[in-house]
Amino acid sequence: MAKSKMFGKDVVTTQELSVEEIENILALAVKMKANRYGEPYNSLLAFKTFIMFFYNPSLRTRQSFEAAATELGGHAQFIEPKAMRLKSVKKGVEVAGETIHDAAKVMARFAVGIGIRILETSVDNYGDGNKILREYAKYADVPIINMADDIYHPCQGLADVMGMREHNNNKPTKGKTLVQTWAKGALARSYCSVHESLLLNSRLGVNVKLAYPDDNYALPENIVEQAKKNAKASGGTFEIVKGDPKAAYEGADYVYSRNWFGKDFYEIGKEAEIKRASSDKYKDWICDEDKMKTANPGAKFIHPMPVDEDAEVTREVNRGPRSIVLDIAENRLHVQKAIMALTMSDKL
């Protein structure tokens, strides 16, 4: 066995991977799921360490990456910036400490890869988290894996696609229709999972419908324009449906109903955003059986979790036969194992 073509590669967003690399990750994830604890996968990272660097907390991300490292024969080490003396700037105040250059270089001496999670609540402005992650990638001599930043979430996007294919008779979803709809909720959610879904599915020939109630919940223009370009190149379509909470469901094969914060989030703050998104003004922006009945027969409900039940989606849909949410959550483990093996193992 030898190193893969992706060995040493950073994974910041699927948009920066080739379609061939995306398909290689998904194909290996399928094999790993079918032979979860077997050879040769159980020793690809034998005695090696993967560092998980969490600016923001998580449930599935930490657990799935720790399990992935263990099942590959290695070890995942959890660290937080607050436990280190890192140089930083928050709310315009500079805190003295170790530079990203030095921290990245040192961590790379200890591990074969570094995962970083840094969301909007850890930075002052949209995109700052992604900039910090890319600075680590610039200086680290091992792969940097994005465990979710304030723009992208590649592992979630890949897990979504893996689950969608599993419920499409294990076939590609090219030509299928995905509805990506805003939903009310009390969690003031990041853009990252939504962005990754739009960018990845549009590259794979899925027909994408993006639905939201008003201009305040329009997504960043550069993401939308990139998704449109992706769709044109892949033979898919990209459509925006604004103002009608039900219209986009017609013809859907997959429905992804999820809250995301408004474009003024960084100005108004989390509490104000939660108050607005939870108001009765948006009471109809929930995925329910009535709306799902207008989708195609057998249409599936997907979500990256945690689900804000009875806000983003009714319990009936989320826990019913249409939901593949738990399958997708499990697939985080398998796609992450595949990414780690392809980028960090010299035995593949």
> What is the structure's pLDDT at 1?
58
Q: Characterize the bridge pairing of strands 238-242 and 254-258.
A: unpaired
Give the CATH number for residue 58.
Answer: 3.40.50.1370
Task: Provide the residue range defining the domain that includes 71.
Answer: 14-152+329-344
Instruction: Please indicate, yes or no, if residue 4 is contained in any of the structural domains.
Output: no
Helix or strand or coil: residue 255? strand
Are residues 174 and 272 located together in one domain of the fold?
yes
Beta strands in 10-142 (DSSP E): 49-54, 75-79, 88-90, 93-95, 113-118
**Distance, CA of 212 to chain centre:** 20
Instruction: Please indicate, yes or no, if residue 185 is contained in any of the structural domains.
Output: yes
> What is the structure's pLDDT at 177?
98
Are residues 266 and 340 located together in one domain of the fold?
no
Are residues 56 and 134 located together in one domain of the fold?
yes
> What is the structure's pLDDT at 316?
98
Instruction: Please indicate, yes or no, if residue 9 is contained in any of the structural domains.
Output: no
Instruction: Please indicate, yes or no, if residue 2 is contained in any of the structural domains.
Output: no
Instruction: Please indicate, yes or no, if residue 7 is contained in any of the structural domains.
Output: no
Per residue in 6-51, pLDDT (tens digit) is 999 999 999 999 999 999 999 999 999 999 999 999 999 999 999 9
> What is the structure's pLDDT at 93?
61
> What is the structure's pLDDT at 195?
98
Instruction: Please indicate, yes or no, if residue 163 is contained in any of the structural domains.
Output: no
Please give the average per-residue pLDDT across 159-170, as a whole number.
98
CB burial string 2-11: b at 16+ within 10 A, e below: eebebeebbb
Are residues 196 and 172 located together in one domain of the fold?
yes
Per residue in 202-244, pLDDT (tens digit) is 999 999 999 999 999 999 999 999 999 999 999 999 999 999 9
Are residues 311 and 338 located together in one domain of the fold?
no
Cβ proximity of 227 and 200 under 8 Å:
no
Are residues 85 and 191 located together in one domain of the fold?
no
Q: Would you say residue 91 has pLDDT above 80?
A: no
Q: Would you say residue 89 has pLDDT above 60?
A: no
Per residue in 262-285, pLDDT (tens digit) is 999 999 999 999 999 999 999 999
Are residues 259 and 216 located together in one domain of the fold?
yes
Are residues 297 and 335 located together in one domain of the fold?
no
Are residues 181 and 311 located together in one domain of the fold?
yes
Nearest CA to 258 among 188, 159, 334? Answer: 188
The pair of structure tokens assigned to 37 is: 């604890």
With 0.75 as the threshold, say if the pTM is over it: yes
Are residues 194 and 316 located together in one domain of the fold?
yes
- Dist. CA 55–CA 142, nearest whole Å: 19
Instruction: Please indicate, yes or no, if residue 1 is contained in any of the structural domains.
Output: no
Q: What's the structural domain count of the chain?
A: 2
Instruction: Please indicate, yes or no, if residue 194 is contained in any of the structural domains.
Output: yes
Are residues 191 and 304 located together in one domain of the fold?
yes
Are residues 52 and 121 located together in one domain of the fold?
yes
